Chain A
Amino acid sequence: MEWFNDFWSTYSTLVFSVGVHILLALSIWLTLSCGLLSLANAAFMGIGAYVAALLTLHLEWSFGTVLLAGGVAPAAVALIIGAPVLRLSGVYLAMATLAFGEVVRITVLNLEITGGPEGLNGIPLSTEAWHIALILAVTVYGLARLRRSKVGRAFEAIKEDEIAARLMGIDVDRYKLLAFSLGAFIAGIAGALNAHFTFFISPREYGFENAVDILTMAVLGGFSNLIGPMLGATILTLLPELLRSLHDFRSLVNGAVLVLVVLFLPKGIWEPRRIRAWVQRFKGGRA
């Protein structure tokens, strides 16, 4: 057990961030599964993180309720902005959500209660490994059930062809709003968890770059199923640690990964059909 204690004291933060990033990747997977490219997830994460941290610091709510509030707050924001924003599609939606993210970041940067550019300091370290594990398990189970449910199939129909889905009697606008706010809810909880193990949060962590990072995780892993985003999030969190020696060029690798995956693996790393084909070929080669 001694090696485990050593490992844990060095790498627990890293393991925590893998968990949080998986949650974030799943949150964007949810909106993507409904055919929406939203770049607002970093902002939703930020809203969750700030609401949770402020509740802990000023009102001393219990951790459970803080987490819940961290999810509900961005989901409420998503419900409010969702109705008008989700009328847009494609590039326009991406741009609108990007603009929304910037407005959130700049607002947080200028408010007094959020600590401005210095952010919030001294957030108690309440997050424990089992919190993340439990929330992840519940989320993955919930999403896996959702995929196979009426709602999940409606999302898929909308993603494939919005007009056809509408003609089949699917209430497209309502399902889009559901995907958007549920994604915001998950991202908010991830933000709240994150705030309670990093001790410190600042507006810099919730900008455009972070929205892109979250998107990269889903694109790298592939978003045709749930395993893809989880795999992508894990790889992209561990990669910078493995590439420490590259110093300044570290994010070069992130960019290159994004370009190469889009060019050569359009469905992401985790594409069951291709993997099955490989396995088949491997077996065939041996026989």
Chain B
Amino acid sequence: MLEQQLLNALTLGSVYALFALGFTLVFGVLAVINLSHGAVFMVGSYAALALVTHFNAPLWMAMCGAMLASGILGLLVDMLVLKPLRAREAPHLIPMIATIGVGIMLTSAAQGLFGAEVLRFPEETLPAGEFVIGDVHVRALEIAIVMIAFVLMALLFTILKYTQLGRALRAIAESPKAASLLGINVEGLFHVTSFAAAALGGIAGVLIGLNFNAITPYMGQPMLHKGIAVIILGGMGDIRGALIGGLFLGFAEVISKAYLSSQMGDAVAFGLLFLILLVRPSGLFGRKLERKA
């Protein structure tokens, strides 16, 4: 029983981490809390579903398509909404408020286009197969989800750590102005970051949609809240923190749902987040508290 729960937790936690990585990347590089990330997540799962049902695309192709679609969406949000605000040097809460508006628009558009009811992937498109190890039933789908999530995260870590692009991004995270003086194309890398972050959000949407096989226009909102919890747990803008925070939230949620009550599971996540903010606003693994007015 416990092993089964742990497997659930690992599956959920790895997707939370993937989602939160995009979220925290945008905060680290652009210094914007992008509250449309939840809606982008939802759009990703609808895009994959549309590719599978309307174009009979195989699942892997649908995933790539969903990443592309949500990435382009993220790029558009950056170019049309965030860029003008950067140009105006708007106070940093203003972009956050604007992305709330974007999120509402996307959710409402999805509801108008696809309806409010739950949509599902056709059974035959899902990877079948189940292994039994001891008492634990492992679905092939869960293995695929965990693998995809970890491969993508490893890819992101490698890029950030070892490539010229990653060094440039880290320089921007320290100070966009200094980076620009060093000859880094800051605007261009803002676009790249927005694309990559949204693509990660979109694929996370596909994975959650597959795991529960349920897609609704409202699935982005709770995920956004979890993303916020994760990046605060891990420290805002902290890539490693997002990974550990995501896994931690997955475990905390599954365990509290199993041993407390199913509804209170969500409250535990937020209670935890609330506590962390009060005690250690820089996150569990954060360095010293920065006071940003």
Contact = CB atoms under 8 A, between A and B. Distances in A.
User: Do A and B interact with each other, yes or no?
Assistant: yes
Interface of A: 37, 84-85, 87-92, 94-96, 98-100, 102-103, 106-107, 109-110, 162-163, 208-209, 212, 215-216, 219, 247-252, 254-259, 262-263, 266
Given A90-B292, A107-B267, A255-B105, A84 B236 contact: no
A33 to B, nearest CB: 14
Nearest to B77: A259
Contact of A259 (B101, B116, B293): B101
B29 to A, nearest CB: 15
Given A95-B232, A248-B112, A263-B81, A106 B267 contact: yes
Contacts of A219: 97
Contact of B270 (A103, A248, A255): A103
Contacts of B96: 91, 94
Interface of B: 33, 81, 84-85, 88, 90, 92-94, 96-98, 100-109, 111-112, 116, 221, 225, 228-229, 232, 236, 261, 263-264, 266-267, 270-271, 273-274, 277-278, 281, 291-293
Nearest to B100: A212
Nearest to B81: A259
B85 A262 contact: yes
Contacts of A257: 101
A110 B267 contact: yes
A19 to B, nearest CB: 24
B281 A103 contact: no
Contacts of A258: 97-98, 100-101, 104
Contacts of A254: 101, 104, 108
A109 B263 contact: yes
B170 to A, nearest CB: 21
A215 B229 CA distance: 21
Contacts of B104: 209, 212, 251-252, 254-255, 258
A106 B293 contact: no
A91 B292 contact: yes
A188 to B, nearest CB: 20
B190 to A, nearest CB: 17
Nearest to A258: B101
Contacts of B273: 95, 99
B56 to A, nearest CB: 28
Query: Top 5 nearest A-B pairs by Cβ distance?
Result: A258-B101, A255-B104, A255-B105, A259-B101, A248-B112
B93 A37 contact: yes
B281 A252 contact: no
A221 to B, nearest CB: 14
Contacts of A256: 101, 105
Contacts of A109: 263
Contacts of A107: 267
Contacts of A209: 104, 221
A250 B292 contact: no
Nearest to A100: B274
Q: Which label, helix, strand, loop or mixed, suits the secondary structure of the A interface?
A: helix
A263 B228 contact: no
Contacts of B105: 252, 255-256, 259
Given A99-B277, A251-B108, A252-B109, A89 B292 contact: yes
A89 B85 contact: no
Given A102-B225, A259-B101, A263-B85, A91 B92 contact: yes
B275 to A, nearest CB: 9
A87 B289 CA distance: 12
A89 B293 contact: yes
A98 B228 contact: yes
Contacts of B109: 249, 252
A45 to B, nearest CB: 18
Nearest to A163: B293
Contact of A103 (B84, B98, B232, B271): B271
A110 B98 CA distance: 32
A45 B154 CA distance: 44
Given A250-B108, A252-B109, 15 more contacts: A37-B93, A89-B292, A90-B93, A90-B292, A91-B292, A95-B228, A95-B273, A99-B229, A109-B263, A255-B100, A255-B104, A258-B101, A259-B81, A259-B98, A259-B101
Given A110-B267, A162-B293, A249-B112, A255 B92 contact: no
Contact of A92 (B102, B271, B281): B281
A110 B270 CA distance: 15
17 contacts: A84-B278, A91-B92, A91-B292, A94-B96, A96-B277, A103-B267, A106-B266, A249-B112, A251-B107, A252-B112, A254-B108, A255-B103, A255-B107, A256-B105, A262-B97, A263-B85, A263-B98
Contacts of B107: 251, 255
Contacts of B225: 98, 102, 208
B152 to A, nearest CB: 25
Contacts of A96: 274, 277-278
A259 B39 CA distance: 15
